[in-house]
Structure 1
Amino acid sequence: MAFVPGGTAQQNLPIFAQTVASVWSGPDQVHGRAYIDALVADGFSKADMQVTNDETTIGRAVESLQFSVRLGDECLIGQVGPTIASPVTEVAPGLVSGGCLIGQTRPINW
């Protein structure tokens, strides 16, 4: 499986799902940076990504972490966390605002 440059979200869902599963099986299960870095290594553009915070506002680990990659008018969305038995990945329509995730996300500035 490989990233399809210029491909659709559906065409790139298999590599996205494989990468998410790979990170999930490692030590960084609920660290957003691990997912972003792994997806970038596969060829996805960091500029097209969003990720939610790893910690709550009181410094505890989140129960659910979401991240996304915008590809054209669609998004690849992943969700992981201790309250989820296994990673969830899907293709969803992009938001009119240009992003993929609703709510607060954190800057991807590394």
Structure 2
Amino acid sequence: MKNLVWGGVVVVLLAVGGYGLTGALQGLDLSPAPQASGPASSASSPSPTPSASTTPTAVSLARFDPSAPASANLELFKRALDKAAQSTPASSVEGKTLTDALAGVGFSGAAMQQSADRTSANLQAPTLMVSVRVGAQCLVGQFVRSDASVSTEIAAPIQTGACLIGRQAPVS
């Protein structure tokens, strides 16, 4: 029931507010409630302390690396979108601005998708979405024109294999 209610809220936000999927879902916890395990399992085993060998190290890529973890490529993806958003007036940012920035750091144009720059009423889109298919995952970014903010996430592709829903603008 909880997921159905949140699903309705997301649909309303998408239809009315123009927030885009990433903005509408930000901050929502849609994960199922944790399953309680037996009382002995959690109380009897102390949690391990991280050692130097198990602590993850941050990887900062300068160019797209298909063999790097998705999180490292996501960081590069976000940095490229942030740079494009900050170096261009918000009213002038188009999908091509964002995809060109991604291509500039090595993401393949053939693996990219972008949302339309204009709404069906021929108004400037309040949000722009871009994605890059990387293996079995999608790096998805959203630019919000009103505050020139960028948000990114790793997502599974939709059933068609694409990363975004809707009309896809050609990416050069």
Structural RMSD (CA): 1.7
Q: CA deviation at 1:6?
A: 3.5
Residue of structure 2 equivalent to 1:17: 78
Residue of structure 1 equivalent to 2:68: 7
Cα pair 1:56 1:62 within 8 Å, conserved: yes
- Structure 2 letter corresponding to 1:36: T
Gap runs ≥5 in structure 2: 1-60
Instruction: Say whether 1:80 aligns with 2:143.
Output: yes
User: Which of the two has higher C-alpha Rg?
Assistant: 2
The structure that is helix-richer by fraction is 2
Higher mean displacement: 7-16 or 36-45: 7-16
Cα pair 1:28 1:34 within 8 Å, conserved: no
| Count, aligned residues | 109
Runs of 4+, deviation exceeding 4 Å = none
Higher mean displacement: 76-85 or 51-60: 76-85
CA deviation string 1:69-92 (max 9, x = no partner): 000110000001224562101111
Identity %: 37
Task: With a CA cutoff of 8 Å and minimum separation of 6, indicate the structure with the bigger relative contact order.
Answer: 1
84 and 75 in structure 1: CA distance in 2 versus 1, 3 angstrom threshold:
farther
For the residues of structure 2 that align with 1:12 and 1:28, how far apart are their CA atoms? 26
**Correspondent of 1:54 among 98, 105, 117:** 117
Residue of structure 2 equivalent to 1:105: 168
The structure that is strand-richer by fraction is 1
